[in-house]
Amino acid sequence: MMDKKDITEKLEPLYDKKVECLLCGQEFVTKKIRSRFIKPRKVDSDFGQIFEQDDNSPLFYYVMVCPHCGFSFTEDFSKIMAQNVRKKTLEEISGKMDHSKDFCGERDYQMAVRTFKLAIYFAQLIKEKHVVLARICHRLAWIYRGAGIAEEEMRFMNLACTEYEQSFLYTDFNPELTPEIQILYLIGELNRRLGKYNEAVKYFSTVSEHPDKSRYMKYVNMARNQWSEAVQEYRESKNKQQIQPNVKSE
């Protein structure tokens, strides 16, 4: 039987999740958002769920920050850390932890951005897989997109794109969870959003010729749409360049 406490708890958007720190091994409790409260304003062509700054965004809780040692990580981080990496990381962060900040409770936009930057720092420090770093940078770009901060969005899309490219080159993603064709589509789409149309078209064409294309028609169709979009945007940008000198001379 459900008592009153259960019902009230179920209505709260945030719930507590017990996590074990991958670096120091100590347990802590952090917040996550219940799926029924996740209502993005839109889902973009790079799969970005876009929320406004004051929405209940699951992105705000994507990174977990250990209150004991400060290590910041996501569910994608490798569960096992080599002893020498653990030792080096603990030495590196010793004494640097800012105990005045508590990232285990409710987070606002500013705090969320801070947790992403911490996760990027740690992912680079322990040499996490490129795909893990790509996902962190890509999600931070979505947060900035939701907040309308285009410059920072572009900066982190660029980083995400480079990391996805590296991930593809070294095949450091799990093809069971993330099909290669999805990574290729994302590289194409991020290049398009960055205005690198030649690169975008190159990757979209790889998607449409991929050996697994019949299994993943969704990505093939999306690549075709975004390919035409890229060609149109490229033409528009060329036209603009041609029109501009005339405008100036008037």
**Residues of this chain that bind Zn ion (CB under 5 A):** 21, 23-24, 66, 68-69, 71
Question: Minimum CB separation from Zn ion for residue 126, in Å?
Answer: 13
Question: Minimum CB separation from Zn ion for residue 90, in Å?
Answer: 9
Which residue in this structure is represented by tokens 């406490």? 5
> Are 141 and 164 spatial neighbours (Cβ–Cβ below 8 Å)?
no
Counting Cα atoms < 13 Å in the Cβ hemisphere of 61 gives: 22
Kindly tell me which of 69 and 136 has the beta carbon lying closer to Zn ion: 69
Question: Minimum CB separation from Zn ion for residue 65, in Å?
Answer: 9
Question: Minimum CB separation from Zn ion for residue 117, in Å?
Answer: 18
- Whole-angstrom CA distances from 237 to 7, 151, 230, 241 are 55, 19, 10, 6
Question: Minimum CB separation from Zn ion for residue 28, in Å?
Answer: 8
Question: Minimum CB separation from Zn ion for residue 26, in Å?
Answer: 5
